[in-house]
Amino acid sequence: MPTLGPVHPHVLTVDLFEDTLRAAVTGRSFLHYDKDRRWSSEKDETVLCGDVVHQPDHTLMPTLTRRGRGTVKVFAYGHHGSVVNEAAELAVKLAAVHDAMKAQVVRPLGPETAFPRGTRIQLKDFTTCPCPDLGGPVRPMPDWPTAVQDTFAPFAAAMAADGLAFLHAQMQAGRCGPVLAAAVEGQILGAIGPMEVRTDAIGCHQLMPQYFAVLPEARGQGLGRALWRAAMYWGQSHGAVYQLLQTEVGGPSDRLCQAEGLTSLGFSHTTPA
């Protein structure tokens, strides 16, 4: 969904699109179920309602982000061959109009896509089977000794590209839920968090997306799987019905989620216009 990201199939209705457009027209910062509310007091991305193209066989929904030097994204829905080209033309035009540096096309693709690229959208359904507490070297951060907790800062700095430096700043400011960390021999080597459950557009409890990383030199030891399973135990224990994840196709997290039996809902491929 434009401005919202992946949503559960049971949430994807005409009402959701209308809510998104209404929020843009009225200038409301956030819809109450927007996951970005966790990180900011103002919504950075908005739908350009006056430039939406809606035809029987395709729909183009452009958004504008002012962060950095600005980005226009055009979400291209439809199956005919020219939809991507039409979206690219619209993105370039609107980027010029709004003085945005980047113009991009976001192409949602179904789970049947033969040669997917970009990100895979995956569903973890907590109602299908129990998620046991398997123990292992994973604990909530406050449960580790202070000396171990002190190793989180260099770990986060090393994994800044995966969002851990940002997460660390949120933790220090007390603005996020708990973080689970994996430590071996007194050093934190991996983490997943924040752990938070919120309601979606129809009131269903969703485990929110987390930042998730293991130091490259510590991979292959089962720490990623231990962190993942600890997070799933936490989510189920705190009433989550499902979680949606985005993983880079073919990447370590993608392979882990596939091995753990998550359902692939489709893909999202973003390209420069």
Domains contained in the chain, CATH given: 14-114 (no CATH), 128-240 (3.40.630.30)
Distance, in Å, from the CA atom of 199 to the CA atom of 233, rounded to the nearest integer, reads: 18
Answer whether the bond into residue 111 is a cis peptide, omega within 30°: no
Contact yes or no for 121/109 (Cβ under 8 A): no
Distance, in Å, from the CA atom of 267 to the CA atom of 247, rounded to the nearest integer, reads: 9
- Amino acid symbol at 22: R
Contact yes or no for 96/205 (Cβ under 8 A): no
Distance, in Å, from the CA atom of 84 to the CA atom of 68, rounded to the nearest integer, reads: 25
pLDDT at 28: 62
Residues constituting the chain: 273
CA diameter of the chain: 61
Locate all alpha helices (DSSP H) within the chain, ordered by sequence.
14-26, 83-97, 146-149, 152-158, 164-172, 223-237, 252-259
Of 27, 35, 28, the residue nearest 201 (C-alpha): 35
pLDDT at 63: 95
Burial letters for 186-211: b for 16+ Cβ neighbours within 10 Å, e otherwise?
A: ebbbbbbbbbbbbebbeeeebbbbbb
Contact yes or no for 45/3 (Cβ under 8 A): yes
Per-residue pLDDT of the chain (273 residues; tens, 9 = 90+): 999 999 999 998 888 988 888 888 776 678 888 888 888 777 889 999 999 999 999 999 999 998 889 999 999 999 888 999 999 999 999 999 999 999 999 999 999 998 889 999 999 999 999 999 888 899 999 999 999 999 999 999 999 999 999 999 999 999 899 999 999 999 999 999 999 999 999 999 999 999 999 999 999 999 999 999 999 999 999 999 999 999 999 998 899 999 999 999 999 999 999
pTM of the full structure:
0.89
What number of CA atoms fall less than 13 Å from residue 1's CA on the CB side?
A: 24
Distance, in Å, from the CA atom of 244 to the CA atom of 208, rounded to the nearest integer, reads: 8
